[in-house]
Amino acid sequence: MGLRIDTQDVLFNLEEHLKIERLLGAERYKGLSMDDLRLILEEARKMAVEVLAPTNAPCDRQGARFEGGKVTLPHELVEAYEKFVEAGWIGLGFDASAGGSPVPHVLGVAVVEMFVAANTSFNMYPGLSRGVASLLLAYGNEQQRSYVPRLLSGEWSGTMCLTEPQAGSALGDLTSSAERDGDHYLIRGTKIFISAGEHDLTENILHLVLARTPHAPPGTKGISIFLVPKYRIDENGNPGANNEVVCAGLEEKLGIKASATCVLKFGESGPCHGYLIGQEQEGMSIMFHLMNEARLATGLQGLALGSAAYHAALDYARERVQGVDLRSFKDPLAERVAILEHPDVRRMLMDQKSMVEGLRAMLLRTALYLDLAETSPDEAERERCQDLVDLLTPVWKAFASDQGFRVTEQALQCFGGYGYIKDYPAEQYLRDCKIASIYEGTNGIQALDLLGRKLGRKGGRLVMGLMEELDRFLGAEQDHPSLGAELGRLAALKDRLLQTILSFGSAQASGDFLHPALSAVPFLHMFGHLVCAWQLLEQAVEAEGRLNALYFAEGAATAEEQEALLARNEKAVYYRNKGLTARHYVRHYLPQAHALAEAIESGDRSALEVRF
């Protein structure tokens, strides 16, 4: 069962909904045309489907192995990495001066969705290299920036080393230390759960390590960030002496098995040199640069695996014959039908389809804001879009990873018993997806970020900025002939969400921080549903206009002529389905958002009062 990528939906998002051609006017993308972007997407699809996807199950079966102090990756992964690197995919989106090829973020997100769907474990390695490269470009000194081309060419790779046994969500409790020793620092400490911490893919690994300098204040304020190479870098810029970063073991885990999750010991067996990035005690704010990017990538994991799982389930439902059509259930000799004909299977598939398309629309919209925040010629517009990115980052990370996981679970259900066994990909998608709600800040922490930091920032301007976007859409489409009821439901949820925000404000004003914290995750899900529904309805309006234009162009005026066109024209079917998908989302998921609001509004504090 091969990987299916929904190129049609991706292209609709990019070209017809978000109209990304407008981004190509920016100086940064000079010389790039829409044809170039389409070609990149097609090449990415081929890399995903032909090179990476066939390695997915073998990588899962073999996993990363730890023997004699060394980490060995499945040979399929190593061979795929060589092809990936040769094609230059790691540098996509970076400036040419850094060794990359600039493209809009929104395109980069669409490309990475394909790679993650094809082999999530694999993508951890280039993904971390990209993150480290981006951080060094933003905060590194000249020498540190000079390592970026090595990361983007795939010769070297990167990691982010935050977690310690006693410091996971609470990074302020970390104890790794860094003591100045001439032009470098001596790093000591143990980091756990470090993805790509040790492997045989690249000739050097650049670790970004959070540690404390002597006499630094307690908590996150006292944390600094260091570049710690696996092999020290000599005067010619090449890997030299061993830097005493020792891999003490690998975690055995539920999914992403070929991603090496390492225990790393720094400076235990000899001096380990680290090089300060930025200034002492700026570690957390600098690491946030990487963590914000990583959060976007983690949400993407939910979308990518949800989409791959949904398409696998759809293919299976078309092929698997079981039972008879409900209308002939009394006839034991009635023709056996594919399970796709059963209403409950169709419900499950439509839940998956509408969630996946809603997530994709939300993620690509957020990526577009990121592009506009960087390239818009208007300063106020850049700030407005950055505010929207800041607001939506925790929603994207947590909503997409939670909902993507639920999609993989529902996809598995569509396979029946065959979903539970390894002959089909459903169970691997589910296992590989689960980690996305845990790493890069658990989803509970994302919800507290939304509630505690983002809602009140700039006097509430971030959230009001998003509401203005919704109001503009609702105002423009209020008389829409076919989607009026759905738009009304969107407006009602928006009002309810604002009411909930006000209730949090009053609770906090009266000194009650516990009930808002108790409600943070349900609130984030209300928020996510609102954004997905808004984006799907925008898409439905766009698609309906295009479908009508198609009917007109093809002379399909009557219902019969339109049906005949739908029978032969794939694009017409896609446009029509978009309206149905948006309607399904609004009618099936928005009531769940209202139920979440009702639970929050009840003010119930049982979870706080119960004696466990």
Ligand X SMILES: Cc1cc2nc3c(=O)[nH]c(=O)nc-3n(C[C@H](O)[C@H](O)[C@H](O)COP(=O)(O)OP(=O)(O)OC[C@H]3O[C@@H](n4cnc5c(N)ncnc54)[C@H](O)[C@@H]3O)c2cc1C
Question: Site residues (CB under 6 A) for ligand X?
Answer: 159-163, 168-169, 193-195, 253, 261, 435, 438-439, 441-442, 444-445, 448
Whether the Cβ atoms of residue 132 and residue 208 lie closer than 8 Å to each other: yes
Instruction: Give dist(CA 362, CA 368) in Å, integer.
Output: 10
Q: Name every residue whose Cβ is closer than 8 Å to that of residue 142 and which is 6 or more positions away in sequence.
A: none
Kindly provide the residue ranges of all beta strands, DSSP E only, lying in 37-176, ordered along the sequence.
65-67, 70-72, 156-161
Whether the Cβ atoms of residue 238 and residue 250 lie closer than 8 Å to each other: no
**Identity of the residue, 146 or 442, whose beta carbon is nearer to ligand X in the bound complex:** 442
Catalytic residue flag (residue 598): no
Say which DSSP state 53 is in: G
Helix (H, G, I), strand (E, B) or coil at 342: coil
Number of Cβ within 10 Å of residue 423's Cβ equals 12
**Identity of the residue, 127 or 140, whose beta carbon is nearer to ligand X in the bound complex:** 127
Which token pair is 527?
């928020």
Helix (H, G, I), strand (E, B) or coil at 4: coil
Closest approach, Cβ 210 to ligand X, in A, equals 8
Q: Tell me the β-bridge partners of 274.
A: 185
Say which DSSP state 101 is in: B
Spacing of C-alpha 609 from chain mean position: 35
Which token pair is 323?
């039972």
Q: Tell me whether strands 321-324 and 336-338 are parallel, antiparallel or unpaired.
A: antiparallel
User: Which of 226, 188, 223, 227 is closest to 205 using CA atoms?
Assistant: 227
Instruction: Give dist(CA 352, CA 237) in Å, integer.
Output: 49
DSSP letters for 538-557: HHHHHHHHHHHHHHHHTT--
Instruction: Give dist(CA 400, CA 494) in Å, integer.
Output: 19
Whether the Cβ atoms of residue 430 and residue 359 lie closer than 8 Å to each other: no
Whether the Cβ atoms of residue 357 and residue 310 lie closer than 8 Å to each other: no
Q: 261's torsion region: left (phi>0), alpha (psi -120 to 50) or beta? A: beta
Residue with token string 């990035």? 277
Please give the radius of gyration of the chain, using alpha carbons only, rounded to the nearest integer: 25
Q: What is the dihedral of CA 305, 306, 311, 317, to 10 degrees?
A: 120
Q: Please name the helix (run of DSSP H) or strand (run of DSSP E) that holds residue 467, with its range, or none.
A: helix 461-476
**Identity of the residue, 410 or 443, whose beta carbon is nearer to ligand X in the bound complex:** 443
Which one of the listed residues 244, 440, 538, 544 is annotated catalytic?
A: 440
DSSP letters for 410-426: HHHHHTGGGGSSTTSTH
Q: What is the largest CA-CA distance in the chain?
A: 86
Instruction: Give dist(CA 92, CA 28) in Å, integer.
Output: 13
Residue with token string 């850094």? 98
DSSP letters for 258-311: TS-EEEEEESSSS--EEEE-SSTT-HHHHHHHHHHHHHHHHHHHHHHHHHHHHH
Instruction: Give dist(CA 211, CA 160) in Å, integer.
Output: 12
Helix (H, G, I), strand (E, B) or coil at 78: helix
Instruction: Give dist(CA 501, CA 265) in Å, integer.
Output: 44
Instruction: Give dist(CA 396, CA 300) in Å, integer.
Output: 8
Q: Which residues are catalytic?
A: 440
